[in-house]
Structure 1
């Protein structure tokens, strides 16, 4: 009987609750403000431009909060964070490489240094294989890293043929083979840059023999020993006597001699006087004291970067940024483009995110002929950058930039109107306009131009 009474009370409470609710169609009456019939809106289709006008407050949701804080999303007003390694894990991008392009004085250098220094707090390290203007030296020292200066009376000397740290999983034969391939690739790049043309078949043979002779003299050969072996070979090969090797390698030997004597004496002409410390948060090679033509600077950057890259080849080195500032100098040398392409392809296995910094994409016009292999390599580097950051471009550069990077007409229209510190970010297939936010301490550290004195929205203005 007790159970029946309880059930009856519940039924009464449910009936009272239902009585307080309005009927589904609403109250009946002239002042009910409800329609007796459901509102049915016909389906409407329109273009994205029309819908954007009808719904003007819709914006991209962003990339999430994982990674380095960059600034503000200009379209949504929210914060914008970026981490190429996290985005790769999420499948947003296919590789961690980045392209940063923009005219002088619009803040692209400040952005690059912010990305680099802020990433250190996340356990990443930063390496600058060649800094032609010396702008990264103060930054490297400020974060507890090292800035290695070459030239200008400095006693620092690098041997680009150093083997680098050995990977513990390979045996002696595998390690010797790996180091020889690395050295031979470096010498091939230097030779073609010095000669300004590809090597002939007999020059390849002469270079192989010279490298073998230099290794026979010392486990860690130097560039002078290779040059001496080119000019005065001591051993012959089937089909090539010593006299023939000397004749075939004569032009090559004299072209490479510039790296070990004359205006570059003391830079790469002996054993290294410094040791690369991969545990430092940032290491930069300062080349600002070396003056000369683009070809000479490119050869110096090749030697310097090869010395650093030998230490970066360890797959257990962690996640690292490798910054190529003033990359237009390197892109003019076809042999160096091939080396850079190899590093671009290996970036995922090595945990490296390459950052390529240029002024404008029309610099590609200086890379070989229109249908040459060098031009194709340069375009390949751009294609292998899943993240493209474009700061303000001249109006005349807009169509070329859009063509090279595959920008839409709406994205192209943004480029001339970007202000100081603003950039169009193309991350995979998604686009953002981001206002970089820099602190006062960062601006004081990153600002290397005395002419940038007036502050505009937290950014120095030229």
Structure 2
């Protein structure tokens, strides 16, 4: 590579001295073009580089006259950051709990959605919500448990509206003061999804009544449409639900329940002297609510709540694992009811609390247009109530279960997820490449990196910046055992009983073919059992 030497000649030099100087520069340039033959010659400047002011020509105030031939130094960016600290990113500072290690800066990585929201610099965000995306066994749940548990020491609280697998129950029981509300399995606990909830500070009577009524109507419509397989209700059916709710509120002195609405719908159907269209529109909603009053979901959501929300508890978990075993539809209906109850009791700005609301299997909250609209409103109001919604998905394709292709419901679901500013992207499958680039606007290098991440590693998008974080680098043995959710129910041998085995045994049993998914293999294996 050609080099250019910039020479600043002093006007005090004589003509002969300037001529000698230029001759020395030319000799230096020729000597640089001769490759050194020994290690010493490669490491030291050429002896021939000299001039009237001594070796190196750097004396006397001349710059860039000759370049010492030093051997090149090669190192990783991690080590170079120690020599040149200004090339290492400063991260998000030291506010909030330690989540893990920033693999690019080789420094501890702290994160708190409320701290980033309050940051007035370019590292600040406009949202406290977090999207968590990653394949099975990528470390999503363990990472979120790490964030939430360590945040408790900073005064934050946590709520899990629906713990479908019972994973958060263990965490709540391990934390002093943690509270678990168990539903099903013969427990007497009941939650009323139509609870009024606390009064919003600063809102007028009219505003408060409107917000409560909208939440109740949205809950009822979501339950009915979900039970009907996503079929939208007609205008008459909407009117019937509104009328039944109004009558129930009046009859119960503003303490409506699903049983009360069910009874009012029955009276409307039997009222032969009333509006026959309204009576006809009451039939479908009544059949759906009958499932809660007399069917497989009875004893859970149809009457007044028998448990109260402990606002002082560091973490509250609603254990719905027993109900989720009854089928997908029951799981969706259960999640709508428990989420509506949680929203009613935690949306109190006057309490001045900051809470994580962890939505495991977040797509289940978005299975109808009504639930999507309620979901969107809840995310927008999260800052107002001091809430950070953590929406956990296995893949963007989970949202394909919402509505039909190119439907309003599916487009709204993708829009809601894409608008979440803070994103934690764990290891993904190769099928997700297009979705990540198109739906989340991830750069191609980041998409390729996401396919190669190790367990517990994730790309964190916070505001305008991205970080590569290893969550488990600073976990203690106690934390690791508490947060480990890697066990799977698989048979040790065909024909034997199902039992829990660890991850290493699972790796040995799971076929190595990339065309075989873990879920598909487990289902096929269980089908082969006697």
Q: Are 2:403 and 1:368 equivalent residues in the alignment?
A: yes
Look up the match of 1:150.
183
Look up the match of 1:295.
329
Q: Deviations over 1:268-325 (max 9, x none)?
A: 1211111111221111111100133333211111111111110111112321111101
Q: Deviations over 1:399-430 (max 9, x none)?
A: 32222111112111201110111111111221
Normalised TM-score (structure 1): 0.84
- Partner of 1:264, secondary structure, is coil
CA-CA distance at 1:33 after TM superposition:
5.8
| Contact preservation (8 Å) 1:234, 1:242 | no
Residue 142 and residue 350 in structure 1: after superposition, are their counterparts in 2 closer, same or farther (change >3 A)? same
Look up the match of 1:105.
137
- Partner of 2:148, secondary structure, is helix
Residue 40 and residue 286 in structure 1: after superposition, are their counterparts in 2 closer, same or farther (change >3 A)? farther
Look up the match of 2:84.
none
Which one of 246, 251, 257 corresponds to residue 212 of structure 1? 246
Which one of 38, 43, 63 corresponds to residue 63 of structure 2? 38
Q: Are 2:126 and 1:94 equivalent residues in the alignment?
A: yes
**Based on CA coordinates, which of the two structures has the bigger radius of gyration?**
2
Look up the match of 1:221.
256
Q: Please, which moves more after superposition, 175-184 or 374-383?
A: 175-184
CA-CA distance at 1:155 after TM superposition:
1.1
Which one of 17, 24, 29 corresponds to residue 53 of structure 2? 29
CA-CA distance at 1:391 after TM superposition:
0.7
Q: Please, which moves more after superposition, 321-330 or 169-178?
A: 169-178
1-structure distance, mates of 2:153, 2:398:
34
| Contact preservation (8 Å) 1:235, 1:242 | no
The 5 A counterparts of 1:265-344 are 265-290=298-323, 291-317=325-351, 318-344=353-379
Residue 453 and residue 364 in structure 1: after superposition, are their counterparts in 2 closer, same or farther (change >3 A)? closer
Look up the match of 2:21.
none
2-structure distance, mates of 1:31, 1:319:
68
Which one of 158, 173, 189 corresponds to residue 141 of structure 1? 173
| Contact preservation (8 Å) 1:298, 1:333 | no
2-structure distance, mates of 1:342, 1:177:
14
Look up the match of 1:346.
381
Q: Please, which moves more after superposition, 266-275 or 331-340?
A: 331-340
Q: Deviations over 1:219-263 (max 9, x none)?
A: 211101101111222998xxx925442222101210222122211
| Contact preservation (8 Å) 2:215, 2:374 | no
The 5 A counterparts of 1:127-206 are 127-143=159-175, 144-167=177-200, 169=202, 175-195=208-228, 196-206=230-240
1-structure distance, mates of 2:215, 2:306:
21
CA-CA distance at 1:129 after TM superposition:
1.0
Residue 203 and residue 453 in structure 1: after superposition, are their counterparts in 2 closer, same or farther (change >3 A)? closer
Q: Are 2:392 and 1:357 equivalent residues in the alignment?
A: yes
Question: Cα RMSD between the aligned structures?
Answer: 2.7
**Runs of 5+ in structure 2 lacking a partner?**
1-50, 67-75, 82-86, 488-499, 506-517, 519-530
CA-CA distance at 1:173 after TM superposition:
5.5
Which one of 481, 486, 506 corresponds to residue 444 of structure 1? 481
| Contact preservation (8 Å) 2:190, 2:299 | yes
Look up the match of 2:156.
124
Which one of 425, 434, 440 corresponds to residue 405 of structure 1? 440
User: How many residues end up aligned between the 2 structures?
Assistant: 417
CA-CA distance at 1:131 after TM superposition:
1.1
Normalised TM-score (structure 2): 0.74
| Contact preservation (8 Å) 2:101, 2:107 | yes
| Contact preservation (8 Å) 1:95, 1:384 | no
Q: Deviations over 1:90-114 (max 9, x none)?
A: 1421211111111111211100111
Higher relative contact order (CA 8 A, sep 6+): 1
Which one of 276, 280, 283 corresponds to residue 247 of structure 1? 280
CA-CA distance at 1:32 after TM superposition:
6.2
Residue 174 and residue 406 in structure 1: after superposition, are their counterparts in 2 closer, same or farther (change >3 A)? closer
CA-CA distance at 1:31 after TM superposition:
3.3
2-structure distance, mates of 1:39, 1:88:
49
Q: Please, which moves more after superposition, 187-196 or 73-82?
A: 187-196
| Contact preservation (8 Å) 1:106, 1:391 | yes
